């Protein structure tokens, strides 16, 4: 069985500093894989490289059997790779509904788009209540819901999520992760970078631990959740 996403020997630099020092990573179809680690470990840099926002210094990224080299983000979106970025990246001067429609801009199945928007409102009823409201006036949690819903409107085959719980209230975090588990159970492949290691490991099938630009541990998420080193470093135990 070949991996949906296959990373080999990936190296990335920021201003002469090597942020990622040669990592290997595999994601198979239907998996929820999480990448955990301290701030500055190289997680977000890795995500940016996967979605075409950062140029690799060395190594390769292969998605659905195709090498991703010099492909711009919109071409990756056409191939079914979508990202919910850290900081959300919503269109602040557009309404919620307009933001959702932007997520489907590569699609032309009008009825399908309408059904998917209705499904997003099932996942996130608060977005439906505020559908005509400008996205920039939403709370951080509501903006995170919108960013996630907008990405799902593209019907991705691989969804990248970068720090979805950052800065959110416990109730908002709980809802975001409920939806993450739900869409994962439906078969969507997800790569999750998350500062809340406990939540990430509880939700994921497999996990990678990143330290100082290298993968230091990997395995079944449940096993890593019980690992004394992981518990001491990332779960505060």
Query: To which residue do tokens 């004394």 refer?
Result: 228
Distance CA 183, CA 120 (A): 11
Residue % of the chain over a pLDDT of 70: 100
At residue 16 the predicted structure's pLDDT band, cuts being 50, 70 and 90, is: confident
User: Please, which residues have CB within 8 angstroms of residue 170's CB and are 6 or more apart in sequence?
Assistant: none
pLDDT at 69: 80
More confident residue, 237 or 118: 118
What tens digit of pLDDT does each residue of 181-237 get? 999 999 999 999 998 999 999 999 999 999 999 999 999 999 999 999 999 998 876
What tens digit of pLDDT does each residue of 42-65 get? 999 999 999 988 888 899 999 999
The whole-angstrom distance between residue 184's C-alpha and the CA centroid of its chain comes to: 12
Asked if the model's pLDDT at residue 1 lies above 80, the reply is no
Instruction: State mean pLDDT over 97-125.
Output: 95
pLDDT at 237: 64
What tens digit of pLDDT does each residue of 135-172 get? 999 999 999 999 999 999 999 999 999 999 988 899 99
Domains and CATH numbers, the chain: 29-54+72-234 (3.40.50.300)
């Amino acid at each position: 069985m070949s991996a949906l996403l296959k990373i080999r020997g990936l190296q990335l630099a920021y201003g002469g500093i090597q942020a990622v020092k040669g990592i290997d990573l595999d994601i198979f179809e239907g998996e929820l894989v999480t990448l955990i680690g301290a701030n500055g470990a190289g997680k977000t840099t890795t995500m940016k490289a996967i979605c075409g926002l950062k140029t690799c210094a060395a190594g390769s990224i292969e998605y659905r059997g195709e090498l991703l080299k010099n492909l711009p983000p919109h071409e990756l979106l056409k191939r079914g790779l979508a990202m919910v970025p850290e900081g959300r990246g919503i269109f602040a001067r557009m309404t919620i509904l307009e933001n959702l429609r932007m997520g489907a801009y590569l699609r032309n199945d009008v009825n399908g788009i309408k059904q998917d928007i209705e499904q997003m409102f099932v996942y996130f009823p608060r977005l439906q209540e505020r559908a005509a409201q400008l996205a920039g006036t939403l709370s951080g949690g509501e903006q995170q819901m919108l960013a996630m819903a907008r990405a799902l409107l593209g019907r991705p085959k691989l969804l990248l999520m970068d720090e979805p719980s950052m800065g959110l209230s416990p109730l908002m975090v709980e809802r975001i992760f409920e939806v993450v588990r739900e869409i994962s159970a439906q078969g969507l492949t997800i790569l999750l970078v998350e500062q809340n290691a406990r939540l990430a490991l509880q939700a994921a099938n497999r996990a990678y631990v990143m330290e100082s630009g290298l993968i230091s541990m990997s395995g079944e998420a449940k096993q890593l959740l019980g690992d004394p080193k992981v518990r001491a470093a990332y779960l505060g135990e």
